[in-house]
Chain A
Amino acid sequence: MYEHDVLIIGGGLAGLRAAVEVTRAGADVAVISKVHPVRSHSNAAQGGINAPLTDRGEDWKGHAFDTIKGSDFLADQDAVEVMSSEAGEAVLELERMGVIFSRDENGKLGTRAFGGQKEARTYFVGAITGSAILHVLFEQSLKLGLNVYEEWFVTKLIIEDGACRGVVSIDLKTGEMHTIKAKAVIIAAGGAGRVFEPSTNALICTGDGLSLAYRAGVPLMDMEMIQYHPTTLARTGILMSEAARGEGGYLLNSSGERFMQKVAPEYMELASRDVVSRAEQTEIDEGRGVDGNVLLDLRHLGREYIEAKLGYLQEVSVEFLGIDMAEQPVPVQPGMHYIMGGIKTNIDGETVVPGLYAAGECANVSVHGANRLGANSLLDTVVFGRRSGAHAVEYIKTVGDHSKSEEDIKSEKARIQALLDRPKGERVATVRNDMARGMTKGIGVFRDQASMEGALENLVNVKSRMDGFSVENKGKVFNTDLMFALELEFMVDCAEAVVAGALTRKESRGAHYRTDITERDDENWLKHTLMYKDETAENGVRVETSDVTITQWEPIKRVY
């Protein structure tokens, strides 16, 4: 049995930023992650991180309003105020840690434009911003001598007397199971993109953190809010950063028309992501696409500019499709990218379970509401990662010693042994693919009652097969086969909450666009959906709603 004051699940930006905060406060902290920290999916964020630099006199309220408008007024405005007002310091702190942000001619931080925002306030490192920040936070973790349980997979949260007191986990390298006791646990385990297929998300984004909290009684909020990114590379589904459009790229249909003119004459290609993805899907559905794609055209930017500012995009375009972006437009399509929904927390990362926190993509504070602005996800991770860490440090002072209970590891060992002992059945991948394709089909860029019921029907079928798949690898060392089975169970929980939220919300708002109810309905639906795991409820989910917090921006019509 291992013991710490604070245990953080996940070694991406939110997790490492939380860990830095707890370490600075002198508490005993460890990070546990199923992958080495530098393999985390924070890597994949390309375009940048938003921040109004208040020390330069920029008004954070402009960023807050753009974020709230982007969220289609579903974000909680008190949370957005916290994020926007702390953003400047959060970004400057990253710079001072060593992030090599792009500069202006005076040697100060320089910006690029990003979607859904009036001002250019996105700070960046080429098209590898997430990777550049993650590696610097990892450097800091080495400097601080942070304790990391690398390639340990959490299977269950330990809840004692109603509070979270640690985790049960598998050390993948040995296959041994261990209890790690903690006075507070911060879930920073990333999103759930693999619930959909295709998705821009890494194969590791399986909603583990969301499910762990959900099973512990924490509601998942606004899970129907799934972001489809407007520019994912044809065939491969690889993300092509919004920076391509921020730097001036065009979106064209088959007749070479900049079709965004029709839906967002002012913002054009830099309208909010949900708006651009719908416009693209409309072009494709109405026969003005190019083999199921639209075209992202950077040619007018010139080779030198493309290679200096968007080098990674050029690299993947050439490597994966053999297209030189300086010579040819590249085919792109909307692709599942991010989940705005997540573990419900307050502005300090606290969930309804004492001692349990969440931050980053797995959490829903809520700052993204029904649609996240590009370059707000990195900001979310560092602001709320830090706040969760800071609050956890205070919380643990009120908590007594670790218990010696071994109950949870006993039951987890039995559960996992039973999984290994199953007779030969379906392959995990078969069940997973059926689930994920059904989710994309039913909960897509456009959805309606019938498509969502289709997703539910598919999911009910998938759930009925969850006792029938088997794990082929019975070995101990690096048994990823077993991990994939446990991940599938996590993903099905997330899928269940997504479908329940989608069927509940009887309006169109942000990413939740219903072709059968096309209007936003503030009177009835300026509300969050809250999904609770409840075996007694229909389909195992109880759905409640709660009011959105409005501070100073009354909902208005959303026009770009």
Chain B
Amino acid sequence: MTDATANTMKVKLKIKRFDPAESGGKTWWQDYEVDVHPDSTVLDSLIEVREQNDGTLALRCACRASICGSCGMKVNGSAKLVCKTRVVDVAPNGEQLTIEPMGNQHVVRDLVVSLDTFFSQINRVEPYLQPSFVPESGEYTASNESMENLLTGMNCIMCGCCVSDCTVLEVDANFIGPAALAKAWRFTEDPRDSKRDERLKNLNDEDGGMWDCTRCMKCVEVCPKGVAPMDRIMELREAAIEAGNTNTSGYHHTESFYNSVKKHGRLDETRLAIDSAGWTNIPRLLDLAPIGIAAMRKGKLPPVFPHKAEDNKKVKDLYERVEDAD
């Protein structure tokens, strides 16, 4: 950046544009080509476009050091913080880069999305410490390990990349989302917070809560700060079960999965579906019926009485060894 004598490199960009001023909004793709320093990031390239080619291009950016969370956007279809994405890493042979706004959020203009979706999700988890008492003087006493553990969550910079690429939010806008759940984890794990059980119960019971994650791993893959939201969600589930929340289809699903594999050495999918719904949950079972019928027509219905896996003894052994280890 400071070395004016260094070589430059050509970067080819294909950017998805959106202008809301046109009636109903106008979307189009626009190609750009800029010369930048070979070490440049995708953000450096976009700034070069904005400053030297096209002042109408809108994007957010501030710190350029992966700490402010402004510059989340899709590069070649996947959400990235573009200030920490070097061009050579995503286009090693000078390939054209496709740049789009983040997904699952309303586009304001070009690469700028509305922050409302993200922050309304965050707001759903009462995202602030709720201690049972305030020390009259001094600080709370807490172990260093317990504080360092929370760093994983506090590393979140609220860039929205996980929300952008979440496959559940794509079909269910009511899902509380990976970032907000990771934020909630930051409080359930905080020894100073007094609302752990309540928080876990709410996130367990709530429509769109912790059990709606399908474990697709997308958020872990795209998180630029190592927060790994899905891992945090799994820890929330474990904590919720340990705290006695066993009333959800999520819990029944987990339990049925566990028992089925233990018993048969393989998954009994029919039973899994019914167990998850709950044997007395008639409306949910009726919902499942058409899926079962459709599956039967296509010859995809799993057997009603499951076959045992040939080596189910080995699976049982594994279970016993793991259970003993616990």
A residues adjacent to B (C-beta < 8 A): 35-36, 38-41, 43-44, 55-56, 92, 95-98, 100-110, 125-126, 128, 131-132, 135-136, 139-140, 142-143, 150, 173, 198, 202-204, 235-239, 308, 311-312, 315-316, 319-320, 427-429, 471-473, 475-481
Taking residues whose C-beta sits less than 8 angstroms from the other chain, chain B's interface range is: 35 or more
Between-chain CB contacts (< 8 Å), 5 pairs: A38-B157, A98-B129, A150-B115, A477-B108, A481-B55
Q: Give Cα distance in the complex from A238 to B84, angstroms.
A: 11
Determine if A235 and B1 form an interchain contact, defined as CB atoms under 8 angstroms apart.
yes
- B57-92 CB mask vs A (1 if < 8 Å, else 0) is 011111111111110000000000000101000000
Determine if A44 and B65 form an interchain contact, defined as CB atoms under 8 angstroms apart.
yes
Chain B: minimal CB distance from A208 (Å):
13
Q: Give Cα distance in the complex from A316 to B64, angstroms.
A: 11
- Contact partner of A476 among B21, B60, B131, B190, CB < 8 A? B21
Determine if A203 and B52 form an interchain contact, defined as CB atoms under 8 angstroms apart.
no
Q: Within 8 Å of chain A (Cβ to Cβ): is B217? A: no
Determine if B123 and A142 form an interchain contact, defined as CB atoms under 8 angstroms apart.
yes
Determine if B151 and A204 form an interchain contact, defined as CB atoms under 8 angstroms apart.
no
Determine if A103 and B115 form an interchain contact, defined as CB atoms under 8 angstroms apart.
no
Chain A: minimal CB distance from B272 (Å):
39
Determine if A128 and B66 form an interchain contact, defined as CB atoms under 8 angstroms apart.
no
Q: Within 8 Å of chain A (Cβ to Cβ): is B235? A: no
Within 8 Å CB of A43, what residues of B?
Answer: 63, 67-68, 157
Within 8 Å CB of B129, what residues of A?
Answer: 97-98, 136, 139
20 more CB-based (< 8 A) A-B contacts, given A202-B62, A475-B19: A39-B62, A43-B67, A44-B68, A56-B138, A92-B137, A92-B138, A92-B139, A125-B147, A131-B154, A142-B122, A142-B127, A202-B64, A203-B61, A235-B2, A235-B39, A236-B64, A320-B86, A472-B56, A479-B58, A481-B50
Determine if B55 and A473 form an interchain contact, defined as CB atoms under 8 angstroms apart.
yes
A55-B21 contact given A238-B65, A478-B109, A478-B112, CB 8 Å threshold: no
How many residue pairs, one in A and one in B, have C-beta atoms under 8 Å apart? 172
Q: Within 8 Å of chain A (Cβ to Cβ): is B261? A: no
Determine if B139 and A95 form an interchain contact, defined as CB atoms under 8 angstroms apart.
yes
Q: Give Cα distance in the complex from A173 to B20, angstroms.
A: 11
Q: Within 8 Å of chain A (Cβ to Cβ): is B148? A: yes
Q: Give Cα distance in the complex from A109 to B147, angstroms.
A: 11
Within 8 Å CB of B63, what residues of A?
Answer: 41, 43-44, 202-203
Q: Within 8 Å of chain A (Cβ to Cβ): is B304? A: no
Determine if B128 and A103 form an interchain contact, defined as CB atoms under 8 angstroms apart.
no
Chain B: minimal CB distance from A198 (Å):
6
Within 8 Å CB of A481, what residues of B?
Answer: 50, 55-56
Q: Within 8 Å of chain A (Cβ to Cβ): is B51? A: yes
- Contact partner of B68 among A39, A126, A132, A471, CB < 8 A? A39
A36-B115 contact given A92-B139, A100-B150, CB 8 Å threshold: yes
Chain B: minimal CB distance from A209 (Å):
16
Q: Within 8 Å of chain A (Cβ to Cβ): is B7? A: no
Within 8 Å CB of B150, what residues of A?
Answer: 100
Determine if A427 and B52 form an interchain contact, defined as CB atoms under 8 angstroms apart.
yes
Q: Give Cα distance in the complex from A316 to B68, angstroms.
A: 14
Determine if A107 and B142 form an interchain contact, defined as CB atoms under 8 angstroms apart.
yes
Determine if B2 and A131 form an interchain contact, defined as CB atoms under 8 angstroms apart.
no
- Contact partner of B141 among A55, A107, A320, CB < 8 A? A107
Q: Give Cα distance in the complex from A315 to B59, angstroms.
A: 25
Within 8 Å CB of B157, what residues of A?
Answer: 38, 43, 131
- Which of A132, A140, A202, A311 has the most C-beta atoms of chain B within 10 angstroms of its own C-beta? A202
Q: Give Cα distance in the complex from A96 to B128, angstroms.
A: 11
Within 8 Å CB of A143, what residues of B?
Answer: 128
Chain A: minimal CB distance from B54 (Å):
7
Chain B: minimal CB distance from A92 (Å):
5
Determine if B64 and A107 form an interchain contact, defined as CB atoms under 8 angstroms apart.
no
- Which of A96, A135, A480 has the most C-beta atoms of chain B within 10 angstroms of its own C-beta? A480
Within 8 Å CB of B64, what residues of A?
Answer: 202-203, 236, 238
Within 8 Å CB of A103, what residues of B?
Answer: 142-144, 147
- Contact partner of B62 among A100, A110, A198, A203, CB < 8 A? A203
Determine if A96 and B21 form an interchain contact, defined as CB atoms under 8 angstroms apart.
no
Determine if B62 and A41 form an interchain contact, defined as CB atoms under 8 angstroms apart.
yes
Determine if B58 and A128 form an interchain contact, defined as CB atoms under 8 angstroms apart.
no
Determine if A475 and B138 form an interchain contact, defined as CB atoms under 8 angstroms apart.
no
Determine if A108 and B115 form an interchain contact, defined as CB atoms under 8 angstroms apart.
no
Determine if A96 and B1 form an interchain contact, defined as CB atoms under 8 angstroms apart.
no
Q: Give Cα distance in the complex from A239 to B67, angstroms.
A: 11
Q: Give Cα distance in the complex from A466 to B322, angstroms.
A: 73
- B222-251 CB mask vs A (1 if < 8 Å, else 0) is 000000000000000000000000000000
Q: Within 8 Å of chain A (Cβ to Cβ): is B158? A: yes
Within 8 Å CB of B56, what residues of A?
Answer: 472-473, 475, 481
- Which of A36, A98, A126 has the most C-beta atoms of chain B within 10 angstroms of its own C-beta? A98
Within 8 Å CB of A109, what residues of B?
Answer: 139
The 7 closest A-B pairs by CB, nearest first: A472-B55, A98-B129, A429-B51, A103-B144, A139-B128, A481-B55, A107-B141
Within 8 Å CB of A479, what residues of B?
Answer: 58
Determine if A237 and B135 form an interchain contact, defined as CB atoms under 8 angstroms apart.
no
Within 8 Å CB of A98, what residues of B?
Answer: 128-129, 190, 192
Chain A: minimal CB distance from B300 (Å):
45
Q: Give Cα distance in the complex from A132 to B141, angstroms.
A: 18
Q: Within 8 Å of chain A (Cβ to Cβ): is B140? A: yes
Q: Within 8 Å of chain A (Cβ to Cβ): is B254? A: no
Determine if B147 and A239 form an interchain contact, defined as CB atoms under 8 angstroms apart.
no
Within 8 Å CB of B112, what residues of A?
Answer: 478
- Contact partner of A55 among B58, B115, B137, CB < 8 A? B137
Determine if B108 and A478 form an interchain contact, defined as CB atoms under 8 angstroms apart.
yes
Q: Give Cα distance in the complex from A456 to B19, angstroms.
A: 41
Chain B: minimal CB distance from A123 (Å):
10
**Nearest neighbor of B43 in chain A, beta-carbon distance:** A203
Q: Within 8 Å of chain A (Cβ to Cβ): is B3? A: yes
Within 8 Å CB of B51, what residues of A?
Answer: 427-429
Within 8 Å CB of A135, what residues of B?
Answer: 154, 156, 158
Within 8 Å CB of A56, what residues of B?
Answer: 138
**Nearest neighbor of A485 in chain B, beta-carbon distance:** B55
A38-B158 contact given A107-B141, A142-B127, A316-B66, CB 8 Å threshold: yes
Q: Within 8 Å of chain A (Cβ to Cβ): is B30? A: no
Determine if B66 and A319 form an interchain contact, defined as CB atoms under 8 angstroms apart.
yes
Determine if B143 and A107 form an interchain contact, defined as CB atoms under 8 angstroms apart.
yes
Q: Give Cα distance in the complex from A98 to B193, angstroms.
A: 9
Determine if B21 and A35 form an interchain contact, defined as CB atoms under 8 angstroms apart.
no
Q: Within 8 Å of chain A (Cβ to Cβ): is B134? A: yes
